[in-house]
Amino acid sequence: MRVILFILCILLCTSCWDARQLRDITVVKASAIDVSEEGHIILSVASLVAASDQRSAAIQIESAIDHSERGARLELESRYSESIDFSKLRTLFVSNKVAENDIYPYLDAYYRSPRGALASKLVIVDGLASQIINIQPTDRPHTSELVADMVHAGEQQTLIPITNIQLVCPFFFDDGSDALIPVVKLENGKPVLNAVAIFNNKQMSGTLNLRESKLILLMKGAKQSRALLVNQVNDSNEGENIENFISYKVEKAKSSLKVDVDPSADKVTARVNTKLEINVLEFPHDKLTEPGVIKDLEELLTQQLTDEALEVFKKLQEANCDALGVGKRVFAFHPSYYEQKSWKERYPSITIEPSIQVEIVRHGVLD
Amino acid sequence: MSISQNHFISPNQLLFFIIQTQIGIAILQLPIDMFKIVKWEGWIAVIISGFCLQLLALSYLFIVSRWPQPSFFTLTKKGLGNIIGNIVNFLYFVYFIIVGTHILTLYYETISVWLFPETPKLFILLLIVIAAVYLVQEDLQLIARFYGIVSILLILIIVVQLTSYSAAQPLNLLPLGLNSPLDYIKASTLSIQSMLGFEIVLFLYPYLKGEYKKIKLMTVFAIGITTTIYVFTIISSYLFFSPDEILLIPHPVLYMLKAFTSSFVDRLDLLFISVWIVSVSTSFMTYLFLASLYVKNTLPIKRRKPAVPFVALIMLIVAMQYESNLEIEAFGDFMHMISPIFFLLLPLILGIAVFIRAPKKEAMS
């Protein structure tokens, strides 16, 4: 009996049906989604081709046009000698044209497949997504690696939120909070991280530059390992002089969001209070031990950052992007008020009062 | 009737027995099933049903301890008379077959979607059935020990889910109190279905060796642990997905693990499935054991072990008939419909009958 069992186990547990041999599949590292004039989807993929010499890996890039993402994949299958496999995808590029329309249907195939690589980076491309795929960088096997590393570095610097294909999904289905997704642009033949796309539900409705996105991230309390900022603190005649600038690093960011709802006046007020403890990295003026200087600087920075934050929220409200998730809070604590009217209609006209308090806690080894 | 030494299990082993039987298939689908009825307050419904189960299980113990019998099947005959008792016993046998089959079909559905789309159904089912037959042919004590060992894996089920907390959104759990009391009742009855397995105390009682007090305590404790694990699982997936998103995802627990990758584990969801398969097999094994127990008590062979492969074969053949998701769902609905008869109605009738016939607690006759 045991012998029979043993043999049976050996036969059954090899899972040879679902074995996927590396030699039978083409591993896609990056895919790019564009949309044609007729509204068809243009899917471009870059996959690694095992080269005869181990040092260089060749890249095969193909693209296909079809009505749907999967259809385009089928189309692509005919151009490869193996079946294509998306489970090791590193970066997914989506053109801003696609995102401005409605991004979700194009991502459905990635969400639906059990082997979909949901942890891969999702990047919006300002322009044609396929162009980014077609670049052949000199220092890395492929742009997908380059951009994935770039996005990762950007996350570390608090330039962009930490996202991947799955982590942005909850925002698509939630009226009370919206997604921020990094944008890459081609400049002089190289991909550059240059903005953050702001979304209105499933549609991209604008962009924030990296400084603005850094501020919104700090106000969300989502500081990553480093956050550096530069401000102009002197208005002497030679405006662009180096002496007029202060560079500093945020050591600690604490943020609180308070939402007041007045149903009778139909008024929502969101107060964002952010406290930043900063470490001065560069300030040619020195004299940072004099209490007066420090206090003036702190006040100035507080004033400047708060003004900037106001601008950021103006932009966000124009784009109807609830990046802070004010709506979620209103729904959580005032459900009946929230249900009266769609939050998307309300959000552009609510009052958001940001305040960013700056405190200098360190200033390097110089005074 | 003498029962040899390794037929007995201790109250501690009963604890693992109950937990491992309860935790199984449902853990993957519970979050969405609850969400459909009471939105993000699903965990409240689970806590309510957890309490109900405690009461139910304690009343079971009360019934079976009043009139100790060599097995539950003889108790039904004594309590309800021979003819009705036999019918009830047979119904229970059919019920075990149905639950076992239900476990197999859902297990296959999950595995084929997530892991092995190409592997033939028969082999996926055989994997679990062969292992179950192999173990259930052993003595009860051995089965209980196995359950005890694999209970360590439950820690993994919790730890793996902790990864999703880096993207948790606590506001998803608010606002509270938007549902009507009727909805809570509906959701609670449904979540009782996913905690089936507590009814085994009815059948295991004759094999228990230990103080009655301790048996009660361990039963309560076991159901408490199951409830806690379920509540934790539900809350984790509600924190991770936004409300409207979760409705699209039949297996939220697995799905949320796909969003995370680390250098040494590429796919946490597969790790979770591997652990979950063990929990599913233990649930299946329990029902296989109970069905074979019926055979032993009813057919003239008087031995349990030879019956195991045949009972397993019946379950396997029935499970092979259900192919599409819709059929499997219909089968599951059918099971949900009839199961209250077995964990509520019949024990209640039996309890009344026993109470009438044996007003005083009797010793082993």
CB contact under 8 A, A329 and B171: yes
> Are B9 and B201 spatial neighbours (Cβ–Cβ below 8 Å)?
no
Rg of chain A (C-alpha set): 25
Q: Which amino acid is at B318?
A: V
Is the pLDDT reported for residue B227 higher than 90? Answer: yes
CA angle A15, B312, B141 (to 5 degrees): 100
Q: What distance in Å separates the CA atoms of residue A357 and residue A254, rounded to the nearest whole number?
A: 10
Chain B (142-181) residues lying within 8 Å, Cβ to Cβ, of chain A: 167, 169, 171-172, 174-175, 178
Q: Where in chain A is the domain with CATH 3.30.300.210?
A: 225-366
Q: Where do we find the tokens 């930043």?
A: A276
Q: How confident is the model at residue B2 (pLDDT cuts 50, 70, 90)?
A: very low
- What does the pLDDT read at residue A240? 62
- The highest-confidence range among A11-20, A268-277, B60-69, B176-185, by mean pLDDT, is A268-277
Least confident of A303-307, B135-139, B302-306: B302-306
Measure the CA–CA gap between A72 and A70, rounded to whole angstroms.
Answer: 5
User: What does the alpha-carbon distance between residue B31 and residue B164 come to, in Å, rounded to a whole number?
Assistant: 15
Question: Within 13 A of B52's CA, how many CA atoms are on the CB side?
Answer: 19
Residue A271's nearest CA partner among A301, A308, A318, A309 is A309
**Residue A5: its chain B contacts at CB < 8 A?**
130, 134
Cβ-Cβ contacts under 8 Å, A332 against chain B = 171, 174-175
- The reported pLDDT for the residue numbered A175 is 85
**Structure-token match 């996959």, residue found:** A47
Report the C-alpha gap between A148 and B333 in whole angstroms. 46
Average pLDDT over residues B146-166: 89
CB B143 within 8 A of CB B289: yes
By residue count, chain A amounts to 367
Inter-chain contacts counted by CB atoms under 8 A, chains A and B: 76
**Least-confidence region, from A227-236, B175-184, B279-288, B311-320:** A227-236
- pLDDT per residue, tens digit, chain A (367 aa), is 778 777 776 766 666 777 777 778 888 888 999 998 888 889 998 888 766 555 556 778 888 888 888 888 888 888 887 888 888 888 999 999 889 888 998 898 888 888 888 888 999 999 888 888 888 777 777 788 888 888 889 888 888 888 888 888 889 888 888 999 999 998 888 888 989 999 998 989 989 998 899 889 888 887 777 778 888 776 655 556 667 788 888 888 888 999 888 888 888 899 999 998 888 888 777 667 777 888 888 888 899 999 999 999 999 999 999 988 898 888 888 888 888 888 888 888 888 999 999 888 887 777 6
Give B287 or B322, the one with higher predicted confidence: B287
Q: Give the one of A116, A118, A335 whose C-beta lies nearest to B175's C-beta.
A: A335
Contact B114, B269 (CB under 8 A): yes
Facing residues of A190 across strands?
A: A187
DSSP 3-state of A166 = coil
Per-residue pLDDT at B63: 85
Cα A357 to Cα A68: distance, rounded to the nearest angstrom? 49
Q: Is pLDDT of B1 > 50?
A: no
Contacts with B272 (C-beta within 8 Å, 6 or more apart), sequence order: B156, B157, B160, B161, B253, B254, B257
Say whether A173 and B260 touch across the interface (CB within 8 A).
Answer: no
Q: How confident is the model at residue B17 (pLDDT cuts 50, 70, 90)?
A: very high
- Flag whether residue B242 sits within 8 Å of chain A, measured between CB atoms: yes
* First-last CA distance in chain A: 83
| Residue A12, pLDDT score | 63
Report the C-alpha gap between A113 and A87 in whole angstroms.
9
* Inter-chain residue contact B175 with A331, CB threshold 8 Å: yes
Tell me what pLDDT residue A239 has: 56
Residues on chain B touching A161 (C-beta within 8 angstroms): none
User: What is A225-366's CATH topology?
Assistant: GMP Synthetase; Chain A, domain 3 (3.30.300)
CA distance B233 to B154: 12
Q: Which domains does chain B have, with CATH numbers?
A: 11-355 (1.20.1740.10)
Which pLDDT belongs to residue A93? 92
Whether A8 and B244 lie within 8 Å, measured CB to CB: no
Q: Cβ distance B203 to B71 under 8 Å?
A: yes
**Cα–Cα dist B237/B253, whole Å:** 6
Composition of chain B by helix, strand, coil, percent to 5: 80, 0, 20
Lowest model confidence (mean pLDDT) among A107-111, A138-142, B91-95, B174-178: A138-142
Measured between beta carbons, which residues in chain B are less than 8 angstroms from residue A328? Answer: 169, 171-172
Question: Please, are residues B108 and B316 in contact by the beta-carbon 8 Å criterion?
Answer: no
What is the three-class DSSP state of B102? helix
- Between chains, do A5 and B258 touch, taking CB under 8 Å as contact? no
How far does B126 lie from chain A, in Å, by closest CA? 8
Instruction: Give A172's contacts in chain B (Cβ within 8 Å).
Output: 245
A284 versus B123: which is more confidently predicted?
B123
Lowest-confidence pick of A4-18, A160-174, B23-37, B51-65:
A4-18
Q: Whole-angstrom Cα distance, residue B282 to residue A145?
A: 44
Nearest to A177 by CA among A310, A320, A312, A306: A320
Q: What is the pLDDT of residue B365?
A: 41
Chain B hits for A257, CB-CB cut-off 8 Å, are none
Is-contact A328 B171, C-beta < 8 A? yes
Tell the residue number behind the tokens 């190289």, with chain if given: A190
What span, in angstroms and rounded, lies between the C-alpha atoms of A310 and A351?
10
Mean pLDDT estimate for chain B: 87
- Kindly report the nearest CA distance between residue B104 and chain A, in angstroms: 17
Q: Which residue of B has its CA nearest to A10?
A: B127
Please tell me the predicted confidence (pLDDT) of residue B228. Answer: 94
